């Protein structure tokens, strides 16, 4: 037990140390999540299970072999050596070895192997879909951290500015240039800025927790991420959703898994129809026995084993004549399942196209918002700087100065959010085309 606790402590310690090695890039986060996320690991186990099932299906072609031995004691009337009965005690010892080879099973074995291969391929596609899902989830959480980090930076700048401004107003109060009411108003503004900073810190911690939980890290302590260089995102050319869909439908694992399920259901119809065919098996075996009777002398053990040695070889056929409509109903069920899987494939394709359309228009909107917010932030900053100059020479009041400052910070915050959303949305469109999700 102590070893188990020690191992768990070492494991948690290593994970915590890994979290503190940061900062992490998005590629680091995605790779770590693919290696450690429990949902991905469960999908990987499903693939291994399908591999075992395929091996079992292939092994049905092999002959079966079994051996048996028995020892019987009988009291009362027993069979004698001359095939008559007498009141005596008898013993019998027997050994046998038998085997069976399936010759023809209505193509059930062949179709079973094909179905198992399709099952394995579908499980592999499902595993890749789980990996795609975790890639997107990690990227979303990563962008949220970047956004919250920038908001915290802005909030801290606001708090620092309001604190400096409060000191300036107090100095002016001492000089008799402002009233005590302006000091009180600025104190309230500073308190509100500090509250906003606390809220921004909390939001950042929550977003860090969300990402570290996706990575299966024990704690967000010491975890940090790398802020990427975004460049000018307004100039990124966006492909039309129709063109993206043509590429995505050929590479996305969700569509591939749905296609494989259709193939599986189609082959399952052939397997169900195969139950109408006869089955043929070849069987054979070896056997011998030893027998004693208490009232008669028995031949030696070795002699009986030799004399009683027998072999057999047989061919058996089973022809289904009437199975209470089970074969017919199994075929109907398989046909209905095939139709259902075809509808499911179309549903998956439509869902994918809808996702791409939404991602495309989100990217278009994000680009427009990014360009507009950049201009708005620049204008708000220029207005703030002009108001600051007026405030320094006494041509603008503290309320005007604070309004200009707050307007600029709000515009800067909106620009930050637009920048990271535009980055994520444009990269997501490339991801649908089969490219690596990274920035």
Judged against a pLDDT cut of 90, whether residue 181 lies above it is answered with no
pLDDT band with cut points at 50, 70 and 90 for residue 29: very high
Judged against a pLDDT cut of 90, whether residue 42 lies above it is answered with yes
Judged against a pLDDT cut of 60, whether residue 19 lies above it is answered with no
Domains of the chain, earliest start first: 2-36+105-277+320-432 (1.20.1600.10)
Q: Which of 107-111, 234-238, 360-364 has the lowest mean pLDDT?
A: 234-238
pLDDT band with cut points at 50, 70 and 90 for residue 100: very high
Q: How many CA atoms lie within 13 A of 105 on its CB side?
A: 16
pLDDT digits (tens, 9 = 90+) for 358-406: 999 999 999 999 889 988 999 999 998 898 888 777 777 777 888 888 8
The predicted pLDDT at position 215 comes to: 93
Q: Between the ranges 153-157, 191-195, 349-353, where is the mean pLDDT highest?
A: 349-353
Question: In percent, how much of the chain has pLDDT > 90?
Answer: 56
Residue 94 in tokens: 């027997």
Judged against a pLDDT cut of 50, whether residue 192 lies above it is answered with yes
3-state secondary structure the chain: CHHHHHHHHHHHHHHHHHHCCCCECHHHHHHHHHHHCHHHHHHHHHHHHHHHHHHHHHHCCCCEEEEEEEEEEECCEEECCCCCEEECCEEEEEEEEEEEEEEECCCHHHHHHHHHHHHHHHHHHHHHHHHHHHHHHHHHHHHHHHHHHHHHHHHHHHHHHHHHHHHHHHHHHHCCCCCHHHHHHHHHHHHHHHHHHHHHHHHHHHHHHHHHHHCCCCCCCCCCECCCCCCCHHHCCCCCHHHHHHHHHHHCHHHHHHHHHHHHHHHHHHHHHHCCCCEEEEEEEEEEEEEEECCECCCCHHHHHHHCCEEEEEEEEECCCCCCCHHHHHHHHHHHHHHHHHHHHHHHHHHHHHHHHHHHHHHHHHHHHHHHHHHHHHHHHHHHHHHHHHHHCCCCCHHHHHHHHHHHHHHHHHHHHHHHHHHHHHHHHHHHCCCCCCC
pLDDT band with cut points at 50, 70 and 90 for residue 268: very high
d(CA 20, CA 294): 84
The predicted pLDDT at position 412 comes to: 86
pTM of the model: 0.80
């Amino acid at each position: 037990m102590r070893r188990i606790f020690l191992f768990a402590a070492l494991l948690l310690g290593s994970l915590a140390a890994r979290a503190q090695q940061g900062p992490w890039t998005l590629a680091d986060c995605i790779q770590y999540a693919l290696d450690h996320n429990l949902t991905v690991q469960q999908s990987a186990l499903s693939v291994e299970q399908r591999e075992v099932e395929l091996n079992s299906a292939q092994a049905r072609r092999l002959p079966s072999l079994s051996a048996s031995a028995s020892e019987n004691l009988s009291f009362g009337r027993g069979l004698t050596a001359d095939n008559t009965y007498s009141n005596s005690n008898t013993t019998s010892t027997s050994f046998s070895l038998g085997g069976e080879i399936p010759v023809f099973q209505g193509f059930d074995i062949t179709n079973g192997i094909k179905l198992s291969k399709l099952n394995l391929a579908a499980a592999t596609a499902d595993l890749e879909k789980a990996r795609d899902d975790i890639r997107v989830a990690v990227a979303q959480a990563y962008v949220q951290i970047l956004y919250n980090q920038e908001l915290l930076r802005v909030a801290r700048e606001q708090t620092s500015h309001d604190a400096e401004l409060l000191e300036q107003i107090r100095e002016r109060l001492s000089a008799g240039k402002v009233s005590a009411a302006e000091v009180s108003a600025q104190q309230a503004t500073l308190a509100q800025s500090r509250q906003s900073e606390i809220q921004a810190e909390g939001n950042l911690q929550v977003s860090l927790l969300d990402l570290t939980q996706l990575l299966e890290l024990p704690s967000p302590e010491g975890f940090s991420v790398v802020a990427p260089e975004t460049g000018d995102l307004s100039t990124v050319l966006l492909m039309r959703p129709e063109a993206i869909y043509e590429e995505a439908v050929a590479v996305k694992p969700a569509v591939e898994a749905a296609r494989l399920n259709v193939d599986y259901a189609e082959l399952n119809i052939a397997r169900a129809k195969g139950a109408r065919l006869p089955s043929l098996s070849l069987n054979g075996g070896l056997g011998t026995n030893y027998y004693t009777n208490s009232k008669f002398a028995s031949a030696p053990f070795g002699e009986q084993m030799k004399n009683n040695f027998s072999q057999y070889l047989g061919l058996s056929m089973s022809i289904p004549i009437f199975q209470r409509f089970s074969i017919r109903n199994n075929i109907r069920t398989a046909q209905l399942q095939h139709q259902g899987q075809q509808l499911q494939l179309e549903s998956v394709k439509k869902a994918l196209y809808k996702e791409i359309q939404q991602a495309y228009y989100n990217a278009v909107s994000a680009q427009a918002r990014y360009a507009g917010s950049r201009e708005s932030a620049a204008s708000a900053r220029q207005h703030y700087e002009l108001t600051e100059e007026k405030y320094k020479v006494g041509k603008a009041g503290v309320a005007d100065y604070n309004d200009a400052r707050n307007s600029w910070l709000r515009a800067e915050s909106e620009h930050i959010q637009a920048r990271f959303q535009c980055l994520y949305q444009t990269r997501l469109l490339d991801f649908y085309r089969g490219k690596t999700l990274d920035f």
